[in-house]
Amino acid sequence: MKTNVRFNNPWVVGIQGVIMIIFGLAAIINPEITITTITRFFGILLLLGGIFLIFLTNSKSNSLPVFWMYEGIANIVIGLLFIVFPKLIANIFVFFIGVIALVVGIRNLWILVKSKPKLVLLSLIRNAILVTFGLLFLFVPFQGAMAIVNVIGVVALIYGSVTVFMAYKLFQIN
C-alpha cells in the first residue's frame, strides 16, 4: 500500500503547521498589512493569468477563440486594480458581504415576524446578529475586513498549533 507523503511525513506536516502559525500571528498582529498583501497577491495571480491567456490566444500553435483574449485583458485590468488599490478592493468586497448579510437578515426577520416559528427568540437573535454585521460591513467596511482577518488569524493559529502537535506525534511514531 502506497502512503501519502504529505500526511505522513512529520517534516511536511510540521512545516505546514509553522506556516499557518506565522500567517495566523501576522493576521492577528497586523490585519491591515495582511489584507493588503492578500489582495495584492490575488492581483498578481489575475495579472499573470491574463498575460498567459493573451499569450495563448495569440500563439500560432493554439487556436483558442478570441473570447479568451478579452478575458485575459479583463484579468490584467482587474489584477492591476487589485495591486494598485488593495484597500479599495477589500472595502468593496466587504461592502458586498455587508449588503448580502443585511438583505438576508432583514428578509429572515420579516419571515420570522410573519410565520412566528418555534424558538422565536433564538431566531430573532441570530438574524439580529446578521443585520448588525451587515450594517458594520456597510458603514465601516475596512474595519469589518480587519475583523474578518482577525478571525481567520485565530483559526489559522489554532489549526497551525494542532498541525505542529500532529507532526510531533508523527515524529514519535516514526
Mind listing the pLDDT tens digit for each residue in 101-112? 999 989 988 888
Whole-angstrom Cα distance, residue 31 to residue 155? 14
Closest among 135, 152, 136, 132 to 144, alpha carbons compared: 136
Confidence label for 154 from pLDDT (cuts 50, 70 and 90):
very high
For the full predicted model, state whether its pTM sits above 0.75: no
Q: How many CB atoms sit inside 10 A of residue 90's CB?
A: 23
Beta strands in 2-68 (DSSP E): none
Query: Is pLDDT above 90 for 165?
Result: yes
Answer for the pair 4, 10: CB distance below 8 angstroms, yes or no: no
| CA–CA distances in Å: residue 76 to residues 38, 45, 49, 93 | 17, 9, 8, 19
Whole-angstrom Cα distance, residue 40 to residue 85? 8
Confidence label for 2 from pLDDT (cuts 50, 70 and 90):
low
pLDDT cut 90: percent of the chain above it? 47
Q: Which of 31-40, 58-67, 159-168 has the lowest mean pLDDT?
A: 58-67
SS3 65: coil
